[in-house]
Amino acid sequence: MPRYEFSEGTSNKFWEITLSGDSFTTTYGKIGTAGQSTSKSFADAAKAKAAYDKAVAEKTKKGYALVDDKGGGKSGGKSAAKADDKPAAKAKGKAKDAGAGKPLDARNPALEAAIVADPNDREAYAVFADWLQTQGDLRGELISLQLANKDKQAQALIDKHADYFLGPLAEHVEVHDAGYNNASSHLRTSAQEKAWQKTQRQAFLWRNGYIHRVRLSHDSYSDENWKGKTVDVLDAVLGHPSGRYVVEFAFQSNGDPNEDDLQDLINLLGKKAPATTRKISFGDNVDQISWHHTGNLDKLWKGVPNLKVLEIETGEFEVGKMNAPALERAIFITGGLSPSCARGIAKATMPAIQHLEIYYGDPNYGGDCTVQDVLPMLARSDLGQLRYLGLKNSMFSNDIARALVKAPVLKTLETLDLSLGTMTDEGAEALVRAKDALAHLQVLDLTRNFLSKKGIKAVKDLCPKVITGGQEEADEDGDDTYYYVSIAE
């Protein structure tokens, strides 16, 4: 196995690679350790050889020198002893200047506690960076560069010391899916769309010296040769020092959306999510929403007590016994919400919730809810921070309107959003009857329902801002009239 070594400052590393048919195996780590190994397979031997040559060229370009072309690094061999002894002596001398031989992954529980308490506190990272640099830890320099918005220099440092900052994560820096921009973009604001386009191919978005956001996706239609499991990538991130303070997670696809869900990722987060986790998105780029399955979130809640934002865009999911004490914003976009999930959301423990958005969907796609599944939400009087409530995309919008007259949950609201549903003039009349309960609202959103000009006129003065744009027209088929929600398939 050809062995390459690299020494600079306190960094003394080795890298070995063996080509075998249509695959190769790499072993890497700090000199003097056994290191860790990964294997990668390709469609044929020619592609494997091309990738092998590319990997060797990249390492050589970064300053790795060939020290053994046959079997260096195997314990007991003469070549191995020679390879390990000389760089170790070199490292000892330089380590003394950089921090008296301190380990690269330097830890300081007191300083790190400030980061865990507020992972967006730049001052906490700055203090930690100063301390890390006194220990000779390269991450201190990276934190300082990123705090100073010196993105090019920061990326150059990551690239130069990829074994340290990425290690086994290096082959996953780009998302493992086909990369198409799917139809969900219409649900984003212009600013959100621009931000998503800029970073959607990045699996790891760095900030303050650590991976800030992880975005993972792998579909069976991708042109890539990578055939691994997304959950293994997530596990590697959660076990790596660079993934110690991840703030945001986004998961799109875990294979074929018709057959696979994200359950293994959910379960792993429930066990290993860092305490800094503040935002999770499931399905940030879906196309046919009814094809996508997320899974059951029941095992997630215990592992993310500090979660503030949850966004789900999917066909099928369950929230289980939802206990989210810090959750401030939750959006559940689906073409078919099950009654059990609707009731789980309605009864969830979420005392800090400010923005709650629920799409109910079409019975043809699993949305079998009725107003009975919404009543527990309307009856709540314990959500004192709630300012926006969206009961959207519903086949029973008229029934919701009728139930609002004595709904305690309305009292703290600034915005009530009943858009994208099937409300007719009958529902508009019910809203007029509930005008006293709605008078304190700042916004009532009835966009894309089925109101006539008469219905629009009836509701226009219920609060300072009533939004009624984009009203739909029902489908007529003989004596039958059909109404439909905006998002189903």
d(CA 368, CA 339): 6
pLDDT at 70 over 70: no
pLDDT band for position 243 (cuts 50, 70, 90): very high
**pLDDT value for 71:** 42
pLDDT band for position 54 (cuts 50, 70, 90): confident
Task: Kindly report the backbone phi and psi dihedral angles of residue 289, in degrees, each rounded to the nearest multiple of 5, phi listed first.
Answer: -60, -35
Rg of the chain taking only CA atoms, in angstroms: 27
Domain with 11, as residue range(s), is: 3-99
Mean per-residue pLDDT for 288-301?
86
Residue-wise pLDDT for 166-220, tens only, equals 999 999 998 877 655 444 445 556 676 666 566 677 899 999 999 999 998 876 6
**Cα distances (Å, whole numbers) of residue 17 to 39, 72, 106:** 10, 11, 29
For residue 123, being part of any structural domain is answered with: yes
Residue-wise pLDDT for 89-119, tens only, equals 232 223 233 333 444 799 999 999 999 999 9
Q: What percent of the chain has pLDDT over 90?
A: 58
Domain boundary among 79, 99, 119: 99
**pLDDT value for 97:** 34
Which CATH number is 72's domain given?
A: 2.20.140.10
For residue 309, being part of any structural domain is answered with: no
Helix, strand, coil percent values for the chain (each to nearest 5) = 40, 25, 40
Residues 113 and 91 in one domain: no
254 forms beta bridges with 218
Task: Kindly report the backbone phi and psi dihedral angles of residue 465, in degrees, each rounded to the nearest multiple of 5, phi listed first.
Answer: -135, 110
Mean per-residue pLDDT for 72-78?
35
For residue 36, being part of any structural domain is answered with: yes
Residues 42 and 157 in one domain: no
Which CATH number is 328's domain given?
A: 3.80.10.10
Comparison of pLDDT for 208 and 72, the residue scoring more = 208
Task: Please count the structural domains in the chain.
Answer: 3
Side-chain-side CA neighbours of 275 within 13 Å: the count stands at: 7
Mean per-residue pLDDT for 241-247?
97
Domain boundary among 146, 165, 184: 165
Residue-wise pLDDT for 118-127, tens only, equals 999 999 999 9
For residue 235, being part of any structural domain is answered with: no
Residues 94 and 130 in one domain: no
Average the pLDDT over each of 10-19, 425-434, 466-475 and give the range with the smallest value: 10-19
Query: What length is written for the chain?
Result: 489
Q: What single-letter amino acid sits at 358?
A: I
**pLDDT value for 221:** 58
pLDDT at 466 over 80: yes
Task: Kindly report the backbone phi and psi dihedral angles of residue 225, in degrees, each rounded to the nearest multiple of 5, phi listed first.
Answer: -90, -10
DSSP 206-242: EETTEEEEEEEEEETT-S------HHHHHHHHHHSGG
Residues 419 and 479 in one domain: yes
Summary mean pLDDT of the chain: 85
For residue 302, being part of any structural domain is answered with: no
Residues 423 and 471 in one domain: yes
**pLDDT value for 78:** 33
Residue-wise pLDDT for 352-376, tens only, equals 999 999 999 999 988 899 999 999 9
pTM: 0.76
**pLDDT value for 126:** 96
DSSP structure class, residue 483: -
Q: What percent of the chain has pLDDT over 70?
A: 83
Residues 14 and 77 in one domain: yes
Block residue for tokens 């469609």: 43
**pLDDT value for 60:** 80
**pLDDT value for 179:** 58
Residues 130 and 86 in one domain: no
d(CA 227, CA 194): 30
Residues 34 and 84 in one domain: yes
d(CA 149, CA 143): 10
Average the pLDDT over each of 101-105, 244-248, 368-372, 387-391 and give the range with the smallest value: 101-105
Residues 115 and 42 in one domain: no
pLDDT band for position 86 (cuts 50, 70, 90): very low
**pLDDT value for 186:** 52
- Residue 306: closest CA among 325, 322, 281, 282: 325
For residue 74, being part of any structural domain is answered with: yes
Comparison of pLDDT for 273 and 224, the residue scoring more = 273
d(CA 450, CA 421): 8
pLDDT at 29 over 80: no
- Residue 203: closest CA among 143, 255, 145, 252: 252
pLDDT band for position 314 (cuts 50, 70, 90): confident
Residues 360 and 483 in one domain: yes
**pLDDT value for 322:** 98
**pLDDT value for 283:** 83
d(CA 390, CA 478): 34
Average the pLDDT over each of 185-189, 215-219, 325-329, 398-402 and give the range with the smallest value: 185-189
Residues 342 and 450 in one domain: yes
For residue 236, being part of any structural domain is answered with: no
Residues 25 and 114 in one domain: no
Domain boundary among 53, 74, 99: 99
For residue 258, being part of any structural domain is answered with: no
pLDDT band for position 88 (cuts 50, 70, 90): very low
